[in-house]
Structures are given as structure tokens and as C-alpha cells.
Copies of this chain bind each other. A is one copy, B any other.
Amino acid sequence: MKSLMRHINIIARCAGMYRADRLGDSELGAVHQSYVLAICKNPGISQDELARHICINKSNVTRKITYLEEHGYVTRVQSESDKRITLVYPTQKMQNVLPQVRAVTDECNEYMTRGFTEEELKQFKKLLERVSARAKSYVETRGNDKL
């Protein structure tokens, strides 16, 4: 299936544009939505766990978290049990944008699959979950240091 990843890339890029359009010219571009959703769901997540969770390499995560901290969306705290670990907490400002980010994400999911029957949706989700688990397993076997 030669075109599989081409379709995945196109969907990911168009969904990024969709979300960026809906969020307007806010400080939070479309790329930050994964961060908002993950950090609000897991307050106190370490930067390394966050990188694994959203499958973005550590140096990019560090850069984005620095941006989010500078703009008042997160605070960073050194772990008491291990000083090398940095924990990330959402601020009230991030909590305040969460409903809008969630709404745009839901709207985008709904837009992309409009016309699907319940059965097709279920099937699509099941297949996507398998591929996504396989994709994550690649990143894990690759070693965290490389992430």
C-alpha cells in the first residue's frame, strides 16, 4: 500500500490548517494543541514522558515548552525525587483555553469523517489504533535517547 503514509500526511497537514483557522491568530498555533490536551490531562507530566506521549522529539518538546512557559501557559518544576526530571503543569491560562481547543479538535474529527456510518467509524478507529500502536512501538524500540 504505497500511498498509505501519503494519505496520513495529507490528513495531518489539512487537519493542522483546519485547527489553525479555527483558533485564529492566537498565541497557540495548531501545533500547540497536542501539548494543551496532553498537559491538561496529565498535570505534572515530565518533559520526557510528554515527548513519548505525543511522539515528538525531546529537543522540540523543550523548545515548545519554553515558548508555552514564556507565554504563561505552563509552569516547570524540578522533580523532588529526581532533580534531573522537569515536571510540567498547566496554568489557569492554559486551563482557560482547554475548552476551545477541545471543541476545535472535536469539530475537526467530525468534519473529517462526515458521511461515515457508525460501523465505518468503528472500523476506522480500530484500524487506526493498531497502526498508531505499531508506530509508537517503533519509537520505543528505537530508544528513548533518540526521541
Complex: A124 Cα to B3 Cα, angstroms: 11
Separation in Å of the A129 CB from the closest CB of chain B?
A: 6
**Chain B residues whose C-beta falls within 8 Å of the C-beta of A106 in the assembled complex:** 2
Residue of B nearest to A140 (CB): B14
* Structural contact, B5 and A56, CB atoms closer than 8 A: no
Q: Are B105 and A5 in contact (CB under 8 A)?
A: yes
Q: Is the interface of A mostly helix, strand, loop or mixed?
A: helix
Q: For A42, what are the chain B residues with a Cβ–Cβ distance below 8 Å?
A: none
Instruction: Find out whether the CB atom of B5 lies under 8 angstroms from the CB atom of A112.
Output: yes
Q: A127 touching B138 by the CB < 8 A rule? A: no
Closest to A55 in B: B13
Per-residue contact bits, chain A 113-128, to B (CB 8 Å; 1 contact, 0 not): 1111000110111011
Residues of A participating in the B interface, judged by any CB pair closer than 8 Å? 1-15, 17-18, 21, 34, 37, 54-57, 105-106, 108-109, 111-116, 120-121, 123-125, 127-132, 134-136, 138-139, 142, 146-147
